Amino acid sequence: TALHTRGAPTAATTTAPALDTNSPLKEIERIKAARELRRKQAELIREARAGKDETDMMVEEFEAKIHQFRHAWMQWVESWKGRRTAQALAEWDAPIQVCVRKRPISKKEAGKKGFDIITTTTAVHPHACAFLHEPKLSLDRSRSIVTHPFHFDKVFDEYAGNDLIFQTTLQPAIPKLKEGKNVSLFCYGATGSGKTHTVFGPEGGRGSATTAADIGLYHYACSQVFGVAAEMGADVFVSFLEIYSGKVVDLLNNRQHINLLEQNGNFIFQGLRESHASSVQHCLQIMAVGTATRTTQATDSNSTSSRSHAIFRLELRVPHTGTTSLLTLIDLAGSERGVDNPSASAAVRREGAAINKSLLALKECIRSLHVNSNYVPFRSNKLTCVLRDCFRAGTCIMVLNVAPTNLTVEQTMSCLHYANRIKEYSHAAGGGS
């Protein structure tokens, strides 16, 4: 149609009125017109592609293929009944849940010509899927995508705010604290995938959240826990710690080192400051000190915060009965393997290996929760020692944060596999199915 609007004579317009096939003159005219048409078309394509390099064309081709997949998939999804509603998501409440959250593409990624390779279906189990479209370039330079499907309990697209995440994961679990059960939520994922944004909000709680979609889960959790505590007649104690380089430090007490002591099968955090919070506001004030203490530079994979596990705990204690229950939110260290990065220093690589070990230990603990709940190998690692109470009866929610583009395809793929294995453990044991 673009050609017509440019007024190019077409074979049809030159010959249609009187189809005089016998006239050689007309035939020459027709051939000339066709040649002109071809010339114009080639010019149009040249123009359209001016300023575009090989990468742009490759991106377009991959995007077209992904779009094709989405189009077909969406048509199929349209026919489902149990599609997402916040309510349906909240109602799917299993003792262990593995969820995926895709974050929006960032300006920086768009600038690097990153393109979206994650397709999500925000439905409830068993229809909650995330697809990773792996771009492939073959030897003959032909391009294709290989689509890997992953199933989870809940899947959140890039439009889901922290408010929806809270309402559909933690909020339904919080009443369990009243029964003396523990509730925990882990954010797992590579550096820059949105873990800190999820747990603590923009800039790890130091930035000001302007909308309900930006307020960190810890803030929402505080608001609800005080209601539960009042019903129970419980006192609320806040603690906030970090595991960095194999050491446990207290973020509410000037990064003081904490010793873990085992006594009668229980762990004691020697020297940990547990602040008695009298209200939601008070709790947030206490936390402001802790978030300021956490080292900054959220998205830089060399920053301390991306290489540390941050653990936020709210403990509810009923004075006369001695009942305790614990809510724990964990912003895990970046899952990328520092060991694989050739430019990283030896120290950073060692640290990467230690982080990896701790994440594997975590996976083992979650697995044994389902396979053999009498024995949980939490002693194998500092992280799992600290999180021991999270493995007691209650609800354990894992949120896998993923960045959306091809720029991080390998990391995202390995994270999806990690989370998927945890998902399989829970279902093999009958949890949540």
> Where along the sequence are the contacts to ligand ADP (CB under 6 A)?
103-104, 106, 189, 191-197, 202, 298-299, 306, 334, 401
Q: What distance in Å separates the CA atoms of residue 239 and residue 261, rounded to the nearest whole number?
A: 17
Consult the annotation and say whether 191 binds a ligand: yes
Q: How far is the CB of 214 from ligand ADP (least distance, A)?
A: 7
Give SS3 for 127. Answer: coil
Told to check if 328 binds Mg ion by CB under 5 A, we report no
Give which of ligand ADP, Mg ion, none residue 193 binds (C-beta under 5 to 8 Å, depending on kind). ligand ADP
Q: How far is the CB of 210 from Mg ion (least distance, A)?
A: 20
Q: What distance in Å separates the CA atoms of residue 306 and residue 287, rounded to the nearest whole number?
A: 19
Consult the annotation and say whether 196 binds a ligand: yes
Give which of Mg ion, ligand ADP, none residue 197 binds (C-beta under 5 to 8 Å, depending on kind). ligand ADP
Taking CB under 5 A as the binding criterion, the range among 115-123, 191-199, 344-352, 383-391 that sits at the site for Mg ion is 191-199
Q: What distance in Å separates the CA atoms of residue 95 and residue 426, rounded to the nearest whole number?
A: 9
Q: CA 389 from chain center: how many Å?
A: 24
Consult the annotation and say whether 189 binds a ligand: yes
Give which of ligand ADP, Mg ion, none residue 121 binds (C-beta under 5 to 8 Å, depending on kind). none
Q: What distance in Å separates the CA atoms of residue 212 and residue 193, rounded to the nearest whole number?
A: 20
Give which of Mg ion, ligand ADP, none residue 202 binds (C-beta under 5 to 8 Å, depending on kind). ligand ADP
Give which of Mg ion, ligand ADP, none residue 189 binds (C-beta under 5 to 8 Å, depending on kind). ligand ADP
Told to check if 291 binds Mg ion by CB under 5 A, we report no
Residue nearest to Mg ion (CB): 196
In this complex, which beta carbon is closest to ligand ADP, that of residue 394 or of residue 404?
404
Q: How far is the CB of 309 from Mg ion (least distance, A)?
A: 10
In this complex, which beta carbon is closest to ligand ADP, that of residue 236 or of residue 330?
330
In this complex, which beta carbon is closest to ligand ADP, that of residue 304 or of residue 368?
304
- Among 348, 237, 331, smallest CA distance to 291 is for 331
- DSSP code string of 313-351: EEEEE-TTT--EEEEEEEEPPP-S-GGG-TTS-HHHHHH
What are the angstrom distances between the C-alpha of 412 and each of 31, 129, 303, 401?
Answer: 55, 15, 20, 9
Asked if residues 264 and 211 have their Cβ atoms less than 8 Å apart, the reply is no
In this complex, which beta carbon is closest to Mg ion, that of residue 196 or of residue 291?
196
Q: What distance in Å separates the CA atoms of residue 269 and residue 258, rounded to the nearest whole number?
A: 6
Q: What distance in Å separates the CA atoms of residue 310 and residue 330, rounded to the nearest whole number?
A: 6
Count of Cβ atoms closer than 10 Å to residue 94 Cβ:
17
- DSSP code string of 9-25: --HHHHHSSS--TT-HH
Asked if residues 315 and 235 have their Cβ atoms less than 8 Å apart, the reply is no
Q: How far is the CB of 352 from ligand ADP (least distance, A)?
A: 14
Q: How far is the CB of 3 from ligand ADP (least distance, A)?
A: 42
Among 119, 196, 308, 420, binds Mg ion (CB under 5 A): 196
Helix (H) or strand (E) holding 265: none
Give which of ligand ADP, Mg ion, none residue 394 binds (C-beta under 5 to 8 Å, depending on kind). none
Consult the annotation and say whether 293 binds a ligand: no
Q: Please, which residues bridge with residue 315 across strands?
A: 237, 326
In this complex, which beta carbon is closest to ligand ADP, that of residue 20 or of residue 300?
300
Q: How far is the CB of 136 from ligand ADP (least distance, A)?
A: 27
- Residues in binding site for ATP: 189-196
Binding site for Mg ion (CB under 5 A): 196
